[in-house]
Amino acid sequence: MNARSNAITQTLSSNPCAAGMLAVMSHEGKVDGIGYKVEHVQPGRGFSAVEYSVKELPNGRQVVCRTDYPGLFDGLVGLPTDITATYSVWVGWEEYNPDYERMYDSPPLPLPVGATEWSDTAFDGPRHWYADFTDPELAEAFAESLPFVRQDEVVLPLSRAANSIQSFERKDSGNG
């Protein structure tokens, strides 16, 4: 646990309403029953928490799991009260293009079998696309079907002109 999480745990340890959130926070750094390592737990309002975990597959791909744990009072304000998990698999990135940012809500690929939707991130740069699943087995099967990737490889951007998944090339070692 990091210093912030330790401070939250110490501050709320005597509050019986925080017991569920503190139990989730104790997962940080541990591996769950299906092989996902909990990288971070973010406590929220109303004693809710969000857990971020990762499973690395043999082909170098990762499946990222976001688990939302509702707080003690979420139901009172109309928020969901079920624990939900979303398994995301990165499928590629697109170079920043202001026209594409407004026009497209999915990458130039069909939604994988079993995926529920596309999600993306674009923090002032390239847009990264993820296939989201509710079933970890389907997410892992899709991730395993993607090309092997090593840490020393550069992933080329997705292209709207060619409906194919990204291709890979080795980084130039800089030796001439």
d(CA 156, CA 151): 14
Bridge partners of 99?
none
User: What is the enclosing helix (H) or strand (E) of 42?
Assistant: strand 37-43
pLDDT in tens, 116-140: 999 999 888 888 999 999 999 999 9
Domain edges within the chain: 3-170
Within 13 Å, how many C-alpha atoms sit on residue 114's CB side?
Answer: 15
SS3 content of the chain, % helix, strand, coil (to 5): 25, 30, 45
Per-residue b or e along 62-84, where b marks 16 or more CB atoms closer than 10 Å to that residue's CB:
ebbbbbbbbbbebeeeeeeeeee
Look at residue 150 in the predicted model and tell me its pLDDT.
82
DSSP 106-125: S-SSPPPTT--EEEEE-SSS
pLDDT in tens, 63-88: 999 999 999 889 899 989 999 999 99
Kindly give the parts of the chain with pLDDT less than 50: 162-176
